[in-house]
């Protein structure tokens, strides 16, 4: 019994129980509360403690790119339901619901834009669409972003935020790992730079494929970057987890990312990298 | 689903199967009858049960592991240990040997037979060090033109604190990238559990085969049930929903062929299982060996880039 109590304590440090669910505009770290317009003006970063709230894909694209420069590509690529997958609810129903709730057709947006005048290709994931999970449509969109970058000879900026492969597509979602890896290899062969921004969370299948293959990789403060998340590691191995297990800061210390860049500084950071690779 | 729908569905599946190229290999080994029987079994079953039977057989304690096959059909075997950085990972075995007269590099997960060996080899769940070791051996293969044979049998990559700190996700990504760069022939076979990223890390191959009762999946049935059904006990339902069995993987274009097993499963006759696997590996290599390396790589990437179903 005493062991079980210890487990629960370890768990609480990383994942507060769902019963304590707070308003989405309340900072989970320091409890500060913000109006929508305040959060938006602060790029969804807590002005008090620096906590990074999730940022939607379109808002991020607006923040990174020159006004009006973004042209979306492959907007018509959508998921199908090859397995007729049914868990507690049908996959098709989950997809329609995600579409309605997010205003997106999939968990990734791709397109061309300029950043401080530098033409780039963008692939940006949105965690609110089924946990940013990667199924066939996300794999295809990312691959097309690689092709488009090669075709136009411009760098690819890839922003990742994903719980991993989309289980509802079974083995086909696992095959999106080698698929996106092959797309990145084509990019490398064409000497096109890829800059990866890892947002919270970048885990499992996405970390184990294209997210880890950037020429330069930056992470957002506090982002969870792990192949296996803390809850599963704790449950399977019963190991005592370090306080910052799997977080961006630990990944920097162990050499898995090049830098941690707070959101307000990211645009300038990307711009500098683009000047270096130009 | 009505009975009519089910029959229609099945007929489509059978017609799809008969058009598949690598089933030729099964026939060459005189195994077409067995496959026919298997299809009949599928017809008889509601197939949820058949899928679960595959899950159980794929994890059978007596199922042959990588080293059982190495002993039976690799000559002059020399195991290569260590990743030259941090450790030697027993969950992933690598080495050089002769297959049908040619030198090959072999990479395979190894689960371990008794309790001590299972613990030593982490039940076939590799650390990043295992994938680093695999990449080192792939580099040797590339330099000297040896084909790469992968035998996949893992519940998944090791989910531990040290594994994360040593970069599990990045190691799996880079191992796939290394395989996407090779210009030598590569053949993989799922010989038991093909569990998620830990499996695909060494299976980005020109030919991907699966033994009749192996499974290949994005997550374990228990893991999927725990997340989507919020109850790991619903593993059977989860497996039926995400269909990790060889026939479904073939139908979805994820694998190139199915390797027959002895009657009742590979655990019943290791020698016969090895004979069938060896024949399939040799045949696959023969199909690939005349193709120039650059062309192999181009086709391999095109194959994987074509995977998925979307609108």
Residue A134 and residue A41 share a domain: no
Q: Which of B164, B176, B201 sits opposite A233 (nearest CB)?
A: B164
Distance of CA A201 to the CA centre of its chain: 6
- What separation, in Å, do the N-terminal and C-terminal C-alpha atoms of chain A show? 60
Q: Which of A173, A186, A242 sits opposite B161 (nearest CB)?
A: A242
| Average pLDDT of the residues in B194-218 | 97
Q: What is the CATH number of the domain that holds B120?
A: 3.90.226.10
Q: Burial letters for B147-172: b for 16+ Cβ neighbours within 10 Å, e otherwise?
A: bbbbbbbbbbbbbbbebbbbbbbbbb
Is the Cβ of A78 closer than 8 Å to some Cβ of chain B? yes
Q: Do residue B200 and residue A210 have CB atoms under 8 angstroms apart?
A: no
Helix (H, G, I), strand (E, B) or coil at B22: coil
| Average pLDDT of the residues in A89-98 | 94
pLDDT tens digits, one per residue of B244-295? 999 999 999 999 999 999 999 999 999 999 999 999 999 999 999 999 999 9
Residue A72 and residue A43 share a domain: no
Is the Cβ of A145 closer than 8 Å to some Cβ of chain B? no
HEC sequence for chain A: CHHHHHHHHHHHHHCCCHHHCCCCCECCCCCCECCHHHHHHCCCECCCCCCECCCCHHHHHHHHCCCCCCEEECCCCCECCCCCCECCCEHHHHHHHHHHHHCCCCCEEEEEEEECCEEEEEEEECCCCHHHCECHHHHHHHHHHHHHHHHHCCCEEEEEEECCECHHHHHHHHCHHHHHHHHHHHHHHCCCCEEEEEEEEEEHHHHCCHHHHCCEEEECCCCEEECCCHHHHHHHHCCCCCCCCCEHHHHHHCCCCCEECCHHHHHHHHHHHHHHHC
pLDDT of residue A31 exceeding 60 = yes
pLDDT of residue A144 exceeding 90 = yes
Which residues are within 8 A (CB) of A220 and not within 5 positions of it... i.e. 6 or more apart?
Answer: A52, A197, A198, A199, A200, A248, A260, A261, A262, A263, A266
Is the Cβ of A83 closer than 8 Å to some Cβ of chain B? yes
The residue among A53, A72, A95 that closes a domain is A53
Look-up of token digits 């293959």? A213
Residues of the domain holding B267: 21-303
Query: Is the ipTM of this structure higher than 0.95?
Result: no
pLDDT tens digits, one per residue of A220-278? 999 999 999 998 898 888 888 999 999 999 999 999 999 999 999 999 999 999 999 98
| Average pLDDT of the residues in B181-208 | 98
Residue A127 and residue A29 share a domain: no
Residue B114 falls within a domain, yes or no? yes
Residue A248 and residue A113 share a domain: yes
- Cβ-count burial of A237 within 10 angstroms (0-12 exposed, 13-18 middle, 19+ buried)? middle
| Average pLDDT of the residues in A92-107 | 95
pLDDT of residue B41 exceeding 80 = no
Distance CA A9, CA B208 (A): 45
CB A166 within 8 A of CB A135: yes
Residue A116 and residue A43 share a domain: no
| Average pLDDT of the residues in B120-148 | 97
Residues of the domain holding A19: 1-53
The residue among A53, A72, A93 that closes a domain is A53
Residue A43 and residue A146 share a domain: no
Residue A24 and residue A49 share a domain: yes
The whole-chain average pLDDT of chain A stands at 93
Residue A194 and residue A126 share a domain: yes
Q: Do residue A208 and residue B243 have CB atoms under 8 angstroms apart?
A: no
Residue A78 and residue A195 share a domain: yes
Residue A40 and residue A59 share a domain: no
Distance CA A274, CA A163 (A): 28
Q: Do residue A245 and residue B164 have CB atoms under 8 angstroms apart?
A: yes
Q: Do residue B310 and residue A239 have CB atoms under 8 angstroms apart?
A: no
* Best residue in B6, B13, B176, B245 for a mutation probing chain A (most A CBs within 10 Å): B176
Residue B7 falls within a domain, yes or no? no
Distance from CA of A117 to the nearest CA of B (A): 32
Counting residues of chain A whose pLDDT is more than 90, the rounded percentage is 86
pLDDT of residue A42 exceeding 70 = yes
Q: How many domains does chain A have?
A: 2
Residues of chain A found within 8 Å of residue B169, distances taken between Cβ atoms: 203-204, 207-208, 211-212, 225-227
Is the Cβ of B157 closer than 8 Å to some Cβ of chain A? yes
Residue A144 and residue A244 share a domain: yes
The pLDDT value recorded for residue B35 is 56
pLDDT tens digits, one per residue of A47-88? 999 999 999 999 999 999 999 999 999 999 999 999 999 888
Which band of pLDDT confidence, cut at 50, 70 and 90, is reported for residue A8?
A: very low
The pLDDT value recorded for residue A104 is 96
- Cβ-count burial of A76 within 10 angstroms (0-12 exposed, 13-18 middle, 19+ buried)? exposed
Q: How many domains does chain B have?
A: 1
Which band of pLDDT confidence, cut at 50, 70 and 90, is reported for residue B30?
A: very low
Task: Name the least confident of B75-79, B133-137, B251-255.
Answer: B251-255
Which residues are within 8 A (CB) of A187 and not within 5 positions of it... i.e. 6 or more apart?
Answer: A146, A149, A150, A156, A194
Residue A110 and residue A184 share a domain: yes
pLDDT tens digits, one per residue of A186-198? 999 999 999 999 9
Residue B150 falls within a domain, yes or no? yes
The one-character DSSP state at B264 is T
């Amino acid at each position: 019994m005493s062991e079980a109590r210890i487990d629960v304590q370890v768990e609480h440090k990383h994942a507060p129980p769902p019963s304590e669910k707070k308003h989405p505009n309340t900072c989970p770290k320091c409890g500060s509360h913000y109006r929508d317009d305040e959060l938006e003006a602060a790029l969804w970063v807590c002005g008090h403690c620096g906590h990074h709230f999730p940022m939607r894909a379109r808002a991020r694209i607006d923040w990174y790119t020159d006004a009006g420069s973004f042209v979306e590509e492959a907007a018509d690529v959508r998921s199908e339901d090859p397995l007729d997958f049914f868990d507690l609810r049908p996959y098709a129903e989950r997809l329609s619901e995600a579409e309605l709730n997010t205003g997106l057709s999939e968990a990734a947006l791709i397109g061309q834009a300029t950043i401080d005048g530098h033409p780039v290709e963008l692939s940006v994931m949105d965690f609110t669409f089924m946990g940013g999970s990667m199924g066939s449509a996300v794999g295809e969109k990312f691959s097309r972003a690689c092709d488009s970058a090669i075709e136009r000879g411009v760098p690819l900026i890839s922003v990742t935020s994903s719980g991993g492969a989309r289980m509802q597509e079974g083995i086909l979602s696992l095959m999106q790992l080698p698929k996106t890896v092959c797309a990145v290899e084509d990019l490398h062969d064409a000497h096109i730079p890829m800059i990866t921004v890892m947002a919270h969370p970048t885990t499992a299948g996405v970390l184990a494929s294209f997210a880890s293959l950037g020429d330069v990789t930056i992470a957002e403060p506090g982002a969870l970057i792990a192949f296996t998340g803390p809850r599963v590691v704790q449950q399977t191995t019963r190991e005592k987890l370090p306080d910052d297990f799997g977080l961006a800061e630990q990944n920097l210390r162990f050499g898995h990312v090049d830098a941690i860049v707070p959101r307000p500084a990211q645009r300038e950071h990307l711009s500098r990298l683009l000047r270096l690779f130009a | 689903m009505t009975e009519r729908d089910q029959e229609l569905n099945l007929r489509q599946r059978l017609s799809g199967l008969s058009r598949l190229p690598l089933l030729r290999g099964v026939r060459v080994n005189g195994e077409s009858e067995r496959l026919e029987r298997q299809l009949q079994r599928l017809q008889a079953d509601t197939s949820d049960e058949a899928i679960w039977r595959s899950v159980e057989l794929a994890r059978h304690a007596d199922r042959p592991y990588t080293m059982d096959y190495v002993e039976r059909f690799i000559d002059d075997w020399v195991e290569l240990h260590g990743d030259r950085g941090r450790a030697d990972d027993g969950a992933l075995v690598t080495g050089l040997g002769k297959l049908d007269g040619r030198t090959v590099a072999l990479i395979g997960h190894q689960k371990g037979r008794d309790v001590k060996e299972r613990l030593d080899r982490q039940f076939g769940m590799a650390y990043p060090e295992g994938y680093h070791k695999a990449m080192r051996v792939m580099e040797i293969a590339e330099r000297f033109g040896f084909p790469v044979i992968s035998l996949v049998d893992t519940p998944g990559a090791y989910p531990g604190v040290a594994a994360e700190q040593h970069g599990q996700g990045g190691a799996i990504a880079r191992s796939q990238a290394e395989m996407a760069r090779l210009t030598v022939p590569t053949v993989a076979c799922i010989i038991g559990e093909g569990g998620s990223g830990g499996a695909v890390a060494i299976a980005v191959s020109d030919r991907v085969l699966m033994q009749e009762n192996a499974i290949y999946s994005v997550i374990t049935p228990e893991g999927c049930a725990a997340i989507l059904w919020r109850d790991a006990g619903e593993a059977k339902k989860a497996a039926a929903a995400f269909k990790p069995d060889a026939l479904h993987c073939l139908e979805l274009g994820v694998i190139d062929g199915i390797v027959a097993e002895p009657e009742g499963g590979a655990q019943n006759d290791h020698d016969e299982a090895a004979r069938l696997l060896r024949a399939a590996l040799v045949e696959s290599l023969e199909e690939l060996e005349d193709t120039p390396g650059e062309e192999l790589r181009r086709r391999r990437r095109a194959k994987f880039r074509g995977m998925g179903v979307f609108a």
